[in-house]
Structure 1
Amino acid sequence: MEKLKALILCAIVAIVLTFSGCVSQSQNSPTSELEHKKVIKIVMIPDEDPTKMLEDMKPLIKKLEEKTGYKYEVHLVSDYSAAVEALLNKKADIGYLGPLTYVLAHAKDPNIVPFVKEVSAKTGKATYRSIIVVNKETYDKGVKDLKSLKEHAHEIVFAFVDPDSTSGYLIPYSALLKAGINPEKDFKKIVFAGGHDAVELAVKEGRVNAGADNDRTYPAMVSKGLISTDTNIIIWKSDPIPGYPWVYRVDTLPKDLREKIKQVFLNMSKEEALKISGGKVIGYVEATPDDYKIIEESARALGKL
């Protein structure tokens, strides 16, 4: 009998110790994972030339490493959906996304949340606008607004950025529908250029008649002499859109580390922000999921969610 009691007692102790170990591991898993790998991975959308984006990011990476004590790796992906997948599969801890890309990711995993959003260099606000541009030849034919674009739709080759782009697809597509233009049916052809700068270059070079972009990329390219207001003419602007968010996974990064990362962005100087954004951004403000409700509503209306 005494032997039986001893065996039962040992079994109970073993179970309690095992359970305690599991609880402890679960509670500390973000820290444990990071201590093991010592590298925080960042995934970024293809907003412009990849080589330039990586070069522009170097000052940010240096400051993050200094302030947090961790190493960081930047991974540029081929398209918007790849950025979402990297975050969903925990192959990335931090992401630089478009508003729609973030909404799609958050809908699938609420652990992906925004912590800051960009302040536009052009307006000084944490918003930006989608635009539609046409080349000079198309403009000279009379395409000067959405009404005339509809009249010439059958001869228009139109470029969007990516099906998961906010300003390069979601917002302008919705505007075209409201103007009575069904892009799939009414345009001669639609193409996806893969990047905002690629849309502008396609318009400038006459490979497409018109395209969707935003007022972040457009003025930056004009200032660098890559396009001009004579070759790429704006015929439509959207209402304000909440700025591009930086997001992180709250389940893979401990709270104190997340706060340090956020503060790096919030305390960034204007010069630093301009450098890492290619001249598009002058700073960052805090962001929450509620800031992107308008994007979520538009996405649902187009069946994206």
Structure 2
Amino acid sequence: MRRAFSRLAVLLLLAVFAVGCSTGNANGEPEVDDVIDIVWYPNESGEDLKSSRDEIGKVIADATGKEVEHHLTTDYAIAIETLVNNNADVAFMGAQGYIEANDSNDSIQPLVVPTGPSGTLDDAVYHSWLAVNVDDQETFKKDGEFSLDTIADKSFSFVSNSSTSGFKVPSSSILAHFTEQDQYADLTEEDLMEGGSLFSQVLFGNSHQGSAVNLLSGNADVAAFCDTCVENYVEIAEGEENKVGSVYRVKDDAAEPFNKVTGSEFTLMSVTPVLNAPFVANMDTLGEEDYKKLQEALTSDEVANNASIFVPEDAEGSALFFKSGDERFAPVEDAWFDPIREINK
């Protein structure tokens, strides 16, 4: 019943959003207009990231000469469907979200991807984490090493089933591990979405921040979330960044939703590289001309050197992108996301 209500709520929200944002001609066909609508995932919709969103919006407005409107969301499905249904022109989303959007509407195409420190796509990755509370870490070890065997019958938090690093990548690893065992030989991705098959209970945080807080507030024993979405709120307490066994601590001045778990610590039991998240465009509503303008502007040296977009790594405050080397935006083709498509097979 709760699931049915949740689906109905999402559909109602989408209907309301569509009334306010829909663009099209008399025949209902999408058309290019004078506003660039950008839809953001819940992870990037927080007030602490407003300055980053606004600076990117300014680049887009300057490049196209059009007004930019930001649409913030609390649900992955709403963000994806808004783009698919021609109610947004641009979105910043994970690889899995892009693949789902492209499968539903082939006019959804990648625009740019933030590179790695090399300034190329060779190291354009972030990291999917499985984390446990630091005081519970010995529970998740066998012979002194973290082991996936120990997560069976525990409560688990994912981000969203449309999240690349908060669901698709960790669920793939979990299935690969457990289906080798006779007891779990028939385990499926759908089984991981609810308690009773592998986990005692399954939660969805609806954002990476929400999944992390599910862990730190004691609602989940294990949680999946990514490094880049929580880096504004946590700091290394022990070990090295993105290393199994490293301990992270929530900053004393952490913004919502971490403000209620400041000082809490978690340990990484698993770390997996993931392809960086792209900006994507709806070609039907954005148009080829503006697509080219945006790609040229976003991949420019001016944007790469814009300290309000690629914020220096040692800067105070929150940001969408940080600069530790030669990070910038680079054009990307659909085939670059094929490794994530392989996970879905």
Q: Which TM class, normalised by the smaller chain length? A: 0.7 to 0.9
C-alpha spacing 1:142/1:106, structure 2 compared with 1 (3 Å): closer
Structure 1 match to 2:294: 261
Offset, 1:229: 10
Aligned residues: 267
Q: CA contact under 8 A between 2:52 and 2:309: conserved in structure 1?
A: no
Amino acid at match of 1:231: E
Offset, 1:48: 4.4
Q: CA contact under 8 A between 1:46 and 1:76: conserved in structure 2?
A: yes
Offset, 1:203: 1.8
Return the alpha-carbon distance in structure 2 between the equivalents of residues 251 and 56 of structure 1.
Answer: 26
Structure 2 match to 1:73: 69
* Structure showing the higher helix proportion among its residues: 1
Return the alpha-carbon distance in structure 2 between the equivalents of residues 254 and 269 of structure 1.
Answer: 24
What fraction of aligned residue pairs are identical, expressed as a percent?
Answer: 24
Larger radius of gyration: 1
Offset, 1:221: 2.6
Q: CA contact under 8 A between 2:109 and 2:280: conserved in structure 1?
A: yes
Does residue 1:236 correspond to 2:236, yes or no?
no
Structure 1 match to 2:8: none
C-alpha spacing 1:142/1:173, structure 2 compared with 1 (3 Å): closer
Q: CA contact under 8 A between 1:117 and 1:246: conserved in structure 2?
A: yes
Q: CA contact under 8 A between 1:135 and 1:209: conserved in structure 2?
A: yes
CA deviation string 1:264-300 (max 9, x = no partner): 221213523335943456421111110111111212x
Structure 2 match to 1:173: 171
Does residue 1:210 correspond to 2:222, yes or no?
yes
Secondary structure at the aligned position of 1:74 is classed as strand
1:265-280 aligned within 5 A:
265-267=298-300, 268-270=303-305, 271-275=307-311, 277-280=319-322
Which shifted more, 202-211 or 114-123? 114-123
Offset, 1:54: 3.2
Does residue 1:64 correspond to 2:60, yes or no?
yes
Q: CA contact under 8 A between 1:113 and 1:289: conserved in structure 2?
A: yes
* Match 2:329 to one of 254, 270, 284: 284
C-alpha spacing 1:176/1:211, structure 2 compared with 1 (3 Å): same
Q: CA contact under 8 A between 1:169 and 1:212: conserved in structure 2?
A: yes
Amino acid at match of 1:173: S
Secondary structure at the aligned position of 1:171 is classed as helix
* Match 2:41 to one of 41, 45, 48: 45
Return the alpha-carbon distance in structure 1 between the equivalents of residues 49 and 338 of structure 2.
Answer: 28
Offset, 1:65: 1.4
Structure 1 match to 2:244: none
Q: CA contact under 8 A between 1:117 and 1:285: conserved in structure 2?
A: yes
C-alpha spacing 1:191/1:234, structure 2 compared with 1 (3 Å): same
Secondary structure at the aligned position of 1:129 is classed as strand
Give ranges in structure 2 of 5+ residues lacking alignment. 1-24, 179-183, 236-249, 312-317
Q: CA contact under 8 A between 1:222 and 1:229: conserved in structure 2?
A: no
Amino acid at match of 2:231: P
RMSD of aligned residue pairs (Cα, Å): 2.9
Q: CA contact under 8 A between 1:121 and 1:279: conserved in structure 2?
A: no
1:1-305 aligned within 5 A:
33-34=31-32, 37-48=33-44, 50-120=46-116, 125-143=123-141, 148-154=147-153, 156-180=154-178, 183=192, 184=194, 185-223=197-235, 225=251, 226=254, 231-238=265-272, 240-267=273-300, 268-270=303-305, 271-275=307-311, 277-280=319-322, 282-299=327-344, 301=345
Secondary structure at the aligned position of 2:308 is classed as helix
C-alpha spacing 1:290/1:229, structure 2 compared with 1 (3 Å): farther
Structure 1 match to 2:10: none
Q: CA contact under 8 A between 1:46 and 1:80: conserved in structure 2?
A: yes
Give ranges in structure 1 of 5+ residues lacking alignment. 1-24
